[in-house]
Chains A and B, each alone.
Chain A
Amino acid sequence: MRRIVSSLLLVCAGLSHAQRVPTMEEVISLRTVGGVSLSPDGKHVAYTVQTTDWSENRYDIEIWLSKNGTKPFQLTTTSKGSSTNPAFSPDGQWISFLANRGNKNQVHVLRVEGGEAWASTNEEEGISAYEWHPSGSKFIFRKSEKEDKTKKEREKRYGGFEADDKEFTIQHLWMVDFKPDGLDPSELPCYETVDSLKVKAGCIEWPKATRLTEGKFTVSGFGVSPDGSKVAFSRQPDPLINSSSKADVSVVDIETKEITGAATNPGSDFFEDWSPDSKEILFSSSLSDTTSHFYKNAKIFAMNLATKVTRQLGKNLDEDLGGMTWRATGIFTSVWNKTNRVLYRIEPTTGDHTVHLQHPDQIFGVSFSKSGDRFAMTGRNGDQLTEVFVSNTKAPVAEAITDLSSQLKNWKTASSEVISWKSKDGTTIEGVLHKPRYYDASKKYPLLVVIHGGPTGIDTPTPVPGSVYPILQWLDKGSLVLRVNYRGSAGYGEAFRSLNVKNLGVGDTWDVLSGIDYLDSKKMIDRSRMGCMGWSQGGYISAFLTTNSTIFKAISVGAGISNWMTYYVNTDIHPFTRQYLKATPWSDEAIYKKTSPMTNINKAQTPTLIQHGEFDRRVPIANAYELLQGLRDKGVKSELIVYKGFGHGINKPKERLAANWHNWQWFAKYVWGEEVELPVGK
């Protein structure tokens, strides 16, 4: 009897909360979880939550805290800015974070026991990264060097100019005392004499930072040894984006400030973590490979600092490795395994790996307690938004402490199905297929193909796919959406990631078209109503399809590459093209021709929307104008929308909303034959 009653109730509940498709604003307004940090004793979890501030047209990141597994609450409120990088003091009494509250980015601290936050540092240049020293009495942090004064004087006389790749600001490591007495020195002045307002020596002052590293290099990642005596850090000759391929790992002694080289392979070496006994460091490395690291696996090594002997760990893990944590309980990292992301444990002694936890389906950031007995993480199942979980390490079971997914209650979210098919060359390709809510197998549906960037990105099951594409709205309109993990995507091993080398566009097109053929073979799609779109590398593949196929009614190219030659000379990552095409345009023009959308511009027929950020350096806007002009010259319907002030991503809510609408309008017009006005006003 009781059972019947409860199921009746469920029916009622279902009826009273009819499901609806959310507005684009609602999708953009979703609160999302970011980084997570577990207290040293494993009891409290701090994590970041991003919300959308429409009035300021920005995303706001603030820190939330769950104490002893209880309901989380918002901990920080930085008005007009965000609070990021939460970390617990070694004694667990303090939570620190980075925020700009009117005086550059500084380390702020607040008591876990209560009270507002105050700035613990006062660095003129601002702080870009920090870590607690194990003693709890210091911070190790990274900041930029002071700006060169002569540059300003030069500008005064000669105006603005800059030598390409020669002018940059390097960052170094510093150390500063943390004074826990809760006094903000700026609020406690103290004077020398009656007639002087000079701050007197010996008064309460801002702690003075001392320099740990110096020289003609810049510091990227770093970590303090558990015994507090050293800092290991990744370094590269300059902060230019391509110099990361020359990254090495060094160690500085906190006492003597002496720097010793550790990992110095010709390819990139990045510091990962310290061994719990402070004797070894863990680092990822491309070894001597400087010509294929964009798509090949980075490997993991442990180095004994005394002997400099290295040994490789996790040899049989066929993915790009990084993000490692080393505790007494093992070495841990989460790694893509097809559309799942699994937490692996690597045995430090043997280097063998085992699956440590694979629920939820996708595990992202992980933070361990000091002993390594507990961990917190972010992750999700295919039908969830990312949540924060906690678990013990020995017999791990993920317990959610957040319920961000409750935001989706009553929403018509996307169902996800991972499907696979054989591509033209026989390679198995996977994709995520989203079907409309009340899918009818007897009908043929319009199809929209959405292609991810990277190329080493990946698409996975998710209830709210999107970014700049109104996918939930399209599903609700009665369309199928296919997101293809084309060759070169992450999650399928190094060989798969290498399949698009010297084959960009061509192989990718096979993968997309064979996916469509597969759905067609299942009689699922209406081939007369198909569209295709993507951003960055996905924009490139979409542009390639504009000029190399005629099966789509509409295409949207977001920040895409139109011509690898144009791209190669204009982008900030020149080696990318050289690695994938194995040539410069001057050494092998043919490969550039073979892979560039512009080569076949004369064959273009598909109405194409081009979306591009005004100041995109990764894929310079010249690519957009080149495709636009080609299409215009050929009389193909096309339109370019420039997002003012943006780089490679549309990272503000209002323009993201606009980009969604622009796609909605374009596909409505050319796939469904509907004119949609951009709603303006209230």
Chain B
Amino acid sequence: MKVTVKYLIILFVAFTSNAQTKKPIVASDLMKIATANQIQISRDGSKAVMVVTRKAVKNESEYYYTRHLYMLDLVGSTEPYQLTFGDKNDGQPQWSPDGKQLAFVRMDGEKSQIWLLPLAGGEARAITKAEYGAGQPRWSPDGKKILYSSNIPIYAIEGLTPWPYERPARALGDEPNFKLMKADEKKKVSTSPDGTLEDVRAWLAKNNSENNPRVMMRQNLQGELNLQPDEDFSHLFVKTLDTEEKAVQLTKGYQDFQGASWSNDGKAIICHSRVYNIHPDRERDNDLWVIDVETKSAREFLTWPGYSVSNATYSPDGTQILFSATNVQNRHATQNQMAVMTAAGGKPQLLGASLDRDISGATWSSDSKTIYFTAETEGDIPIYSIPAKGGTVTKILGKSSGVSDFDVRGDKMVYALTETRNPWEIYLYQGKDKSSRKLTRLNEDWIKDKLVSYPEEFWVTRPDGSKVQYWVMEPIGRKEGVKYPTILNIHGGPSAMWGPGGFSMWHEYQLETSWGYTVVYSNPRGSGGYGDKFKKGNFKDWGAGPAGDILAALDDASKNHACIDKDQLVVEGGSYAGYMVAWIISHDNRFKAANAQRGVYELSTFLGEGNAWNLVPSHFGGFPWDKETKALLDSESPYSYVSNINTPLLIIHGDQDLRTGVIQSEMLYKSLKILNKPVEYIRYPKEGHELTRSGNPGRMMDHLLRVIEFFERYVKHPEVAPATQK
């Protein structure tokens, strides 16, 4: 009898807490989502440091991010604690070999510098005063030096370029180098708009040095947010600690030295580089180089015909080198691979190619015998391992989840995991019992009181035999027999992959289901996560093929899900998916409303206006001045079908998006206006292509709600949506 009573009470409690206290996810929950990455485990495996990113607001409307270092206890049960504070941005932590200090990069003002945080106590202090900023700190094995990199602008580099100078009929150094001069030095140079040609050239050069105007002579003129008239070159420096000595510049010239790491004896540094016999914008590949720290001499270490190689690291025992490799034969949708070779040199060996996936985060095990990595696969991002000498790939963990970052030390693995029930927490995995334990409560505290919609996974087989994976998320509070407005959400890339392991859409999906929508999303041909063949499935076919997959997934979902109201469908997507939205609504009239974000609508123009212009030759096999390619680009451009669009359309773009420029959306918008079609156009100031992922949090919320508000004009909810209930 007694037992029964107890049970009843428990049931009652559980019921009330679920029914009464859980709330739908809302737009401002975006502000609560915390993430952590750049995990580094200490050498002794007792602790790990990570960078926690949070969103913040002050004075009601000034939104910003904070990035701080936190310490994790991997042995005891001490709660994670914050190591750095303040309004600065901290990142890239690195343990000193003795575990007593952390080097990290702090953005304090305009430039980032390397800082040291003593772990015995006390506040951090800057150890570099690099004129052009400093990053990527790496401790020398003896802990006495720190290697870092700094990007030196072209005007601050001495000598002549190894590639033919590209300014028509001018020579490098034939005008005063004003950009390098201090104000008083500038005054000493004679310049005049009315003098000799030399005076005039100096006057013009002076104006250029003030970026008024900017002079372009490079191919890749577009950066992410601004034009980038000046090339810069990544160089390596070594700072000896506990001395007043200036940092020593290891590398020089018109060459980039990147992804550097120390050899185990501290005498050499391996990195990737290439001599630019052609302008750096025309050179896309790298070789491995080795630099002798003592003599500063740099030499090619590995040139692998057919591959671009980068990011090399020595195995902990110093005998082998692990690095990334990408095949340069086929620029379209090439997968990232990894390879190993002996430290002495010799033939490199691809590793894990049989997995047929994009490999990232490859990391040595402490005993140098195993390599751990992650790979996007069928909606998940699991951690895998493979013997360093080659062999079977083993999945360590990850099901309906995604690992965004991890580090390995001895038996321990610390990783960042995204799941539907919680967008981001850090876990400790121990190999000996294959157990995982959660170390953080980054999001748990607020999400425990929230209603979450879980995606259900499906596959649909296409007429050509290919299989397309898709997911359906039911609206929060869904009732049997009721149909709900449904959002078809499409990803960009085109080689991105969505799934329950993806973080970037977590909040948007949940918000949309809270607003009473069913959400359907899929990975059409061209997506990552399904192998090389599938990724290449959109070659010369950005429109009809992938659109067929996307709509087939929607049709299949509608068949199997009574909650999808086929008469109340809306569609949205960004970037390549902005293209896809425009493609679909110019070929199909089933949608009640559509939203295209930061899209490309006219492919010939894209070649000129976007920094992602390489997609045009690599995905369509040529250039607009080739007749055949031109015809293909026209037929693949949604803009060619603009007059067919009848669906009410919301177009969104960030003012400073130079990956896919606003000319694209202005063209689409104005044409629809001229055609007198229902269209609204949103432009975000100060934002680039990454607005919805890493933009200003206030504008991110605005973006989310602006899309929903637009859809709300065209759908009718069967009941009041949970997010809007008072």
How far is B55's CA from A194's CA once the two chains are assembled, in angstroms? 16
Are A114 and B54 interface neighbours, CB within 8 A?
A: no
Q: Which of A115-123, A380-388, A504-512 contacts B (4 or more CB under 8 A)?
A: A115-123
Are A116 and B27 interface neighbours, CB within 8 A?
A: no
How far is B117's CA from A101's CA once the two chains are assembled, in angstroms? 19
How far is B698's CA from A189's CA once the two chains are assembled, in angstroms? 13
Are B58 and A114 interface neighbours, CB within 8 A?
A: no
Count of interface residues, chain A, beta-carbon cutoff 8 Å: 31
Would you call the interface of chain A mostly helix, strand, loop, or mixed? loop
Are B85 and A65 interface neighbours, CB within 8 A?
A: no
| A168 on interface, CB distance cutoff 8 Å | no
Given known contacts A115-B71, A194-B27, A197-B57, is B82 in contact with A183 (CB within 8 Å)? yes
Given known contacts A187-B56, A190-B32, is B82 in contact with A73 (CB within 8 Å)? no
Closest to A183 in B: B82
Residues of A within 8 A of B122 (CB): 65, 73-76, 110, 114
A63-75: CB near B (< 8 Å → 1, else 0) gives 0010100000111
Are B56 and A110 interface neighbours, CB within 8 A?
A: no
| B81 on interface, CB distance cutoff 8 Å | yes
Are B56 and A73 interface neighbours, CB within 8 A?
A: no
| A186 on interface, CB distance cutoff 8 Å | yes
A182-224: CB near B (< 8 Å → 1, else 0) gives 1110111111011001000000000000000000000000000
How far is B56's CA from A183's CA once the two chains are assembled, in angstroms? 13
How far is B120's CA from A74's CA once the two chains are assembled, in angstroms? 11
Residues of B within 8 A of A197 (CB): 28, 57, 60-61
Residues of B within 8 A of A110 (CB): 121-123
Given known contacts A184-B82, A194-B28, is B57 in contact with A116 (CB within 8 Å)? no
CB distance from A94 to the nearest CB of B (A): 11
| A583 on interface, CB distance cutoff 8 Å | no
Are B121 and A114 interface neighbours, CB within 8 A?
A: yes
Residues of A within 8 A of B83 (CB): 114-116
Are A189 and B118 interface neighbours, CB within 8 A?
A: no
Residues of A within 8 A of B56 (CB): 186-189
Residues of A within 8 A of B117 (CB): 114-116
Contact pick for B120, options A76, A77, A114, A183, CB 8 Å: A114
Contact pick for A115, options B26, B61, B82, B705, CB 8 Å: B82
Residues of B within 8 A of A67 (CB): 120-121
How far is B125's CA from A576's CA once the two chains are assembled, in angstroms? 48
Are B31 and A191 interface neighbours, CB within 8 A?
A: yes
CB distance from A179 to the nearest CB of B (A): 12
Residues of A within 8 A of B57 (CB): 189, 197
Given known contacts A116-B83, A116-B85, A182-B82, is B121 in contact with A187 (CB within 8 Å)? no
Are B82 and A112 interface neighbours, CB within 8 A?
A: no
Residues of A within 8 A of B86 (CB): 101, 116
Residues of A within 8 A of B61 (CB): 197
CB distance from A285 to the nearest CB of B (A): 41
CB distance from A603 to the nearest CB of B (A): 57
Are B119 and A114 interface neighbours, CB within 8 A?
A: yes
| A594 on interface, CB distance cutoff 8 Å | no
Closest to B52 in A: A187
| B555 on interface, CB distance cutoff 8 Å | no
Residues of B within 8 A of A191 (CB): 28, 31
Residues of B within 8 A of A112 (CB): 121
Are B82 and A118 interface neighbours, CB within 8 A?
A: yes
Given known contacts A111-B81, A182-B82, A187-B54, is B121 in contact with A116 (CB within 8 Å)? no
CB distance from A447 to the nearest CB of B (A): 43
Contact pick for A117, options B28, B31, B60, B123, CB 8 Å: B123
How far is B122's CA from A80's CA once the two chains are assembled, in angstroms? 18
Closest to A204 in B: B445
| B107 on interface, CB distance cutoff 8 Å | no
Q: Considering residues B55, B57, B66, B86, which has the most beta carbons from chain A within 10 angstroms of its beta carbon?
A: B86
Residues of B within 8 A of A184 (CB): 82, 85
CB distance from A25 to the nearest CB of B (A): 19
Residues of chain A from 466 to 520 with CB closer than 8 A to chain B in the complex:
none
**What are 28 sample pairs from A and B whose C-beta atoms fall under 8 A apart?**
A65-B121, A75-B121, A75-B123, A76-B122, A77-B123, A77-B125, A101-B86, A110-B121, A110-B123, A111-B121, A113-B121, A114-B120, A114-B122, A115-B82, A115-B84, A116-B83, A116-B84, A116-B123, A184-B82, A187-B56, A188-B54, A189-B31, A189-B55, A189-B56, A190-B31, A191-B31, A197-B57, A197-B60
Give the A-binding residues of B (Cβ under 8 A). 26-28, 31-32, 54-58, 60-61, 66, 68, 71, 79, 81-86, 117-125, 446, 705, 723
